[in-house]
Amino acid sequence: MLSENTMTTCSSLDELLETFDLLDSWEERYQFLIDLGREVPPLPPEDITEENRVQGCQSNVWLTTHVTDSVPPIIELAAQSDAQVVKGLVAVLLLAYSGHTPEEILAFDIKDLFNKLGFTKHLSRSRSNGLFAMVQRVQNVAREAL
């Protein structure tokens, strides 16, 4: 169990996995996801559009992508949801993908990460479907950027 003084912010996937390993139960992990989601900066109101809404999510999720002009290009993501747990899933997705090249995004085994975090066992079917809809959207942007 984490102490009350432990910050929920994780700056890397390794930190996220280490933190999840410290938590004794799925309920604590669930609460940690909610806390992570609270730290995701909100999208500007002009980005909360139907065009940015992720189809396939039961909750509303808006995802914006920006591909830099650098060589290689970097994909920057921002996202928001109207559901607390989904905001936490968004935080994990941003940590996994934002700031990476298209090649890194497409090569990353996101299913392995979700298994290690326990999402495969503990998320409802509708949340899992929504999470993979977000993943698919990011991977499509990465493919287009190649």
Q: Catalytic residue positions?
A: 57
Amino acid, single-letter form, for residue 133: A
Residues paired with residue 78 on neighbouring β-strands, in sequence order = 64
Per the structure block, which two tokens stand in for 76? 């920057």
Question: What are the residues whose beta carbons fall under 8 Å from the beta carbon of 75, sequence distance 6 or more?
Answer: 65, 66, 67, 68, 97, 98, 99, 100, 101, 102, 105, 138, 141, 142, 145
What is the C-alpha separation between 106 and 82, in angstroms, rounded?
27
Q: How many residues does the chain have?
A: 146
Number of other CB atoms surrounding residue 111 within 10 Å:
12
